[in-house]
Amino acid sequence: MLLVLDGLGDRPVKRGKTPLQLAKTPNMDKLAKYGTNGITYPLGPGVVLGSDTGYLSLLGYDPYQFYAGRGILEALGSGVKVYEGDLALRCNFCTIDGKFNVTDRRAGRPDDKTASELGKAIANISTKEFSFIFSHTKGHRGVLIIRSKSASPMVSDVDNHNVGPVTWSKPIDPSDGAKKTAEALNDWLRKAHQILKVHPINKERAKKKLPEVNFVITRGASMLVEGAPLKGATYSGMYGKSVKIQRFEERYGLKAACVAGGALYKGVAKYLGMDVIDVKGATGGFDTDLNAKVASAARALKDNDFVFLHVKATDVAGHDGDWQAKTKFIEKVDKAIAPLLKLKDTIIVVTSDHSTPCALKAHSADPVPIVIWGPEGTVRIDGVNKFDEVTASHGGLGRLSNKEVMPILLGIIGKAPMYGT
């Protein structure tokens, strides 16, 4: 069981302690006390990763080799039908002013009902050569599919992760397809803005002095080139390379499933050929039904060798700069995972994909804690008795990178190959 608290790592916020150090976590501390601990860098010291590359690394797929782009992962995870040759982009609803300056990258985090209604208004805008299909996923997030024989993933991101002037899409190679795709995408963005800015929902939000949800920013252009995702597939993206994915089960000999609320995390799982288990009430937010997710993940172990259980809101709190909310949610997760400690013949891993310090409101290169716990005789007990970023650094795992986690787990369960005779 791999439990990942997204963006868990942090920096001191009060009395020299991080939100995880401040939180009361008796269950995670019990895992630490009877397990082996360490700190892990998402990819290596000084490297800041996105969640997409962070999870590929954690699941043993080097992002430098196996990452095509964010768009296709969001599309796979959102349930949008993706055909070979479709170009997919991850989208944010955002707020811009009258001079096309982004003032809020998440448009005040609109609720699902609001964002869904606005998504319907821009769901199908087409040009002569390009068809555009927009699908809302969760909160301010969405997926844009561009369908055309001319579509190319070699276009730049519109979402540059900063406020300020809109960075319109540009071709990043000299091909005619890239030029046409960038031009068509920019045209779509302008048309979507014209529809959104006069929508009754935004007129009402303006009256209430709420950020208007009046523009879309895109990133991570990538496409399915050939194959079916659940059987292994080839993808290409704006990084100028084709990526052939070997399914998780073929790579490790472990039948795997994923329990998650957000589209990206489901998408990473599908990208690697895992089964995705949908759980009612799994929202990817603070209101997610943690008890239902934990119960579903535990049941999944009956039919699977490996279960990836994802929790998102720790990252949301980090991005919002709200350390109190992060601390409170960590405590909520700790209570919810109590049933996992009663599992038999099960290795439990608790860690994160990256740090999202509240002071930065963004991902950082800071390492994250990791604990591996199992039945007696499976893991060494290293003397660490608390699960947090500082205490874990004194543990038996020492310092490692996320891409080393799967080989370590394979060694623990006796599936690591022998080198030599």
| Structural domain count of the chain | 2
Domain final residue pick, 179, 206, 222:
222
- The length of the chain in residues reads 421
Instruction: Locate the DSSP E strands across 318-375.
Output: 348-351, 368-373
Residues 258, 396 share a domain: yes
Q: Provide the H-helix boundaries in 301-380.
A: 313-320, 323-336
| Cβ atoms of residues 30 and 376 within 8 Å | no
Identify whether 240 is part of a domain. Answer: no
Q: Is residue 163 part of a domain?
A: yes
Classify residue 189 as exposed, middle or buried by CB count within 10 Å of its CB (0-12, 13-18, 19+). buried
Q: In the predicted model, what is the mean pLDDT of residues 210-214? A: 95
Whether residue 228 is predicted with pLDDT greater than 90 in this model: the reply is no
Q: Decide: 59 and 308 in contact? Cβ < 8 Å.
A: yes
Closest CA relative to residue 99, chosen from 12, 214, 19: 214
Q: Are residues 41 and 114 in the same domain?
A: no
Amino acid 227: pLDDT: 87
Instruction: Tell me whether residue 220 is exposed, middle or buried, using C-beta atoms within 10 angstroms of its C-beta: 0 to 12, 13 to 18, 19 or more.
Output: buried
Q: What is the CATH number of the domain that holds 329?
A: 3.40.720.10
pLDDT of the residue at 35: 97
Instruction: Count CB neighbours of 421 within 10 A.
Output: 3
Give the mean pLDDT of 149-174: 94
Residues 342 and 285 placed together within one structural domain of the fold? yes
pLDDT in tens, 341-352: 999 999 999 999
Judge whether 395 lies within some domain.
yes
- Report which DSSP code applies to 50: -
User: Are 80 and 54 members of one domain?
Assistant: no
pLDDT of residue 128 exceeding 80: no
pLDDT tens-digit profile of 253-303? 999 999 999 899 999 999 999 999 999 999 989 999 999 999 999 999 999
User: What are the tens digits of pLDDT across the range 55-97?
Assistant: 999 999 999 999 999 999 999 999 888 999 999 999 999 999 9
Asked if residue 215 and residue 162 are part of one domain, the reply reads: yes
Report long-range pairs for 123-128 (Cβ below 8 Å, ≥24 apart). 125/188, 125/191, 125/192, 125/195, 127/184, 127/187, 127/188
Does 57 share its domain with 86? Answer: no
Strand, helix or coil for residue 14: strand
Are 57 and 104 in the same domain?
no
Any domain includes 234: no
Q: Which of the listed residues 173, 190, 222 is the one where a domain comes to its end? A: 222
The pLDDT mean for the chain works out to 94
Predicted confidence (pLDDT) per residue in 88-101, tens digit: 999 999 999 999 99
Pair (188, 299) in one structural domain? no
Helix (H) or strand (E) holding 411: helix 405-412
Q: Are strands 275-277 and 348-351 parallel, antiparallel or unpaired?
A: unpaired
Structural domain contains residue 69: no
Based on the fold, state whether residues 254 and 331 are members of the same structural domain: yes
Please report, in angstroms and rounded to a whole number, the separation of the first and last CA atoms in the chain.
31
Position 332 scores a pLDDT of: 98
Residue 418 sits at the vertex; the CA angle it makes with 416 and 419, to the nearest 5 degrees, is 125
CA gap 382, 38 in Å, rounded = 10
With respect to residue 68, please indicate whether it lies within any of the assigned structural domains: no
User: For the residues 299-326, what does the mean pLDDT come to?
Assistant: 97
Answer whether residue 232 is part of any domain: no
Torsion angle in degrees (nearest 10) through CA of 391, 388, 37, 248: -160
> Domain for residue 171, yes or no?
yes
Question: From the CA atom positions of the chain, what is the Rg in Å?
Answer: 22
Is the pLDDT at 23 greater than 90, yes or no?
yes
Distance CA 90, CA 72 (A): 8
Structural domain boundaries, residue 382: 2-61+246-412
